Chain A
Amino acid sequence: MSNILAFAESRGGELRRAGLEAVAAARVIADAKGGQVHAILFGAAGMAKHAAALGAHGADAVLVVEHAGFTHNNPEAVAATIAAKVLAGYAGFVCAASATGKDIAQRVAAKLQVPLVSDATAFTVSGTGISATHPGYTGKVLQTVTLTAAPAVVSVRPGAFLPKENAKAGAVETLAPTGDPSASRVKITETAAGNAAKLDLGEAPVIISGGRGLKEAANFKLVEDLAAAFGNAAVGATRAVTDDGWRPHSDQIGQTGRLVSPDLYVACGISGAIQHLAGMRTSKTIVAINKDKDAPIFKLADYGIVGDVLTILPVLTEAVKKAKA
């Protein structure tokens, strides 16, 4: 029993990058144990078409569970199906620590009656269990934990295990749901887009984030324009901004918002409060634009520009467009 099941997360019938990251992370454990990675994919009819992408990124097999009851996420039925499958012969279950993945991971752990390791950034696999590193204390302390419970349930931090081209068979196997998905006690009645951004915070290699220094909601257009110029960027915000309703809560980065670590984080009109830094301090490169040269964000920023964000952003956007052209 050295095979690992990976959650091929999807939304609205589309496979998410989080699913490929789960496969990449599961590969690390399976390869150490000499086992296979099987990806499990849920949705309404037609999901099997994603098996090829999963195979190309390291899945030896793809278990496809199609049912009308999976049109929206159906966490109870998804977790029940995964738990039953894991019990039937897997060493562990891996998913991305996205909003959906975290929910599924804890339900699967609950059904299997085991503890859970969340937000792992690295693993070592030994005979007695799996050790994982994960950030705690709002990212200020790295904790190494060892999981001796079997099967192992782990969620991995978005961005920590990058999807890799790694062609495997990706053999499709259809699987019936455990129980009746239409009978779930927890019902998701609607899944709605919170904002127009095409890329989300968990996935984007570049994040352009705005704070109260933008002065009003309408000026977020400048942040969106810069994100569009990059082409691979998502838009984030501080709590000051989400509290005022300029941006949805799901855009908030920080201690009580999303934890992100993109390749590039551009902080626009953000003071750099400790609770904000908690969510983005592990970004690879940080740029800050603030009119106050003593703003705490400059202590962290690799590159700081002192000045008015409203006049700097349009110039920066044009320059990025040119650099990308």
Chain B
Amino acid sequence: MKIAVCLKRVPDMDVRFKIAPSGKAVDETGLKFDISDFDGYAVEAALQIKEKLNAGEVVVISLGGDVVQETLRKAMSMGADRAVQLKHDAVPVDSFAVASALAAELKDGGYDLIMFGRMSIDTAHGAVGAIAAELLGLPCVTAISKLEFDGRTAKMRRELEGAYELVECALPAVVTIDEGIARPRYPSLKGIMAAKKKPLETKPAQLPAERLSLDAMALPPERSAGRIIGEGPDAVPELIRLLKEEAKVL
């Protein structure tokens, strides 16, 4: 099976972000970057399919400046076979623009399965996968948490609020990956060495004009500091009073 995984480079989220002086970006000083969470699950899921079938190829693709080469190398050190960088220094927030550039690359790739994350963890729109699928004329199943194959039919599960759906679709297809499907492996030393020799191709990204712009970024208002009201079951009456009189939720 020939599988493509589209992945985005994003900052690690376990920091306190600062807004850059432009007011339109986060201050990147000191930030570490990695594969966006759901895209990491997609890489792992793709590798597991290839390992199970003991055949096929996993190709990773990222649109961005040369910094994304590091991210693509990481995916190759996990086990992806080769990588493509669609070069453009600023990644647009316009998901249609990003999807168009990715679809142009994916179009003649002969992929059986094309994987995306269900959303990128930074800009958080969750649209590139479905738009790319439409541009490619392929069926698309979004936010899947399980994936199996019955011949050329993919059988999937999607989580809803308090429920789930079982979904089927014939290959070739586009899927977007939710958590639950696979937890990404850590690259082994051997994998890291091997990745240095794997092919990484760079091409200019073909981007249409953007129709969505990021105008401002701000930090949400700080919550007031937490307050401990007491210990053990004895604190319950005071909690009830506060929920009634102060928070007015009872």
Contacts and interface: CB of A to CB of B under 8 A. Distances in A.
B143 A99 contact: yes
A38 interface: no
Given A138-B13, A200-B162, A255 B121 contact: yes
Given A145-B93, A250-B160, A301 B215 contact: no
A143 B226 contact: no
A116 B127 contact: yes
Given A117-B125, A146-B215, A307 B232 contact: yes
A26 B231 CA distance: 46
B37 A300 contact: no
Interface string A78-122: 000000000000000000001110110111011101111111000
A185 B247 contact: no
B201 interface: no
Contacts of A141: 17, 19, 26, 217-220
The size class of the interface chain B forms with chain A is 35 or more
Nearest to A250: B159
A109 B131 contact: yes
B211 A149 contact: yes
Interface stretch (B54-62, B76-84, B233-241): B233-241
Nearest to A232: B249
B159 A143 contact: no
A21 interface: no
Given A107-B130, A305-B229, A140 B220 contact: yes
A125 to B, nearest CB: 14
A174 interface: no
A194 B164 contact: yes
B231 A306 contact: yes
A115 B226 contact: no
Nearest to A262: B249
A297 B227 CA distance: 11
Interface string A193-221: 11101011111011000000000000000
Contacts of A140: 13, 16-17, 219-220
B26 A113 contact: no
A319 B236 CA distance: 8
Contact of A249 (B17, B133, B145): B145
A228 interface: no
B228 A137 contact: no
Nearest to A18: B161
Given A137-B26, A142-B217, A298 B124 contact: no
B240 A109 contact: no
A107 B232 CA distance: 50
A320 B240 contact: yes
B159 A249 contact: yes
Contacts of A57: none
B180 interface: yes
A324 B249 CA distance: 11
Contacts of B140: 107, 110, 186
A234 B163 CA distance: 13
The size class of the interface chain A forms with chain B is 35 or more
A104 to B, nearest CB: 10
A27 interface: no
B162 A250 contact: yes
A68 interface: no
A114 B94 CA distance: 9
Contacts of A286: 223, 226
A143 B114 CA distance: 29
Interface stretch (B43-51, B167-175, B192-200): B167-175
B129 interface: yes
B230 interface: yes
B66 interface: no
Interface of A: 11, 72-73, 75-76, 98-100, 102-103, 105-107, 109-111, 113-119, 131, 134-149, 185-195, 197, 199-203, 205-206, 234, 248-252, 255-258, 263-264, 274-275, 278, 281-282, 284-288, 293, 297-308, 311-312, 315-316, 319-320, 323-324
Interface of B: 11, 13-14, 16-17, 19, 26, 37-38, 93-97, 99, 119, 121-127, 129-131, 133-135, 139-143, 145, 158-170, 179-180, 210-220, 223-233, 235-237, 239-240, 242-244, 247, 249-250
5 contacts: A116-B127, A186-B140, A191-B160, A202-B161, A301-B226
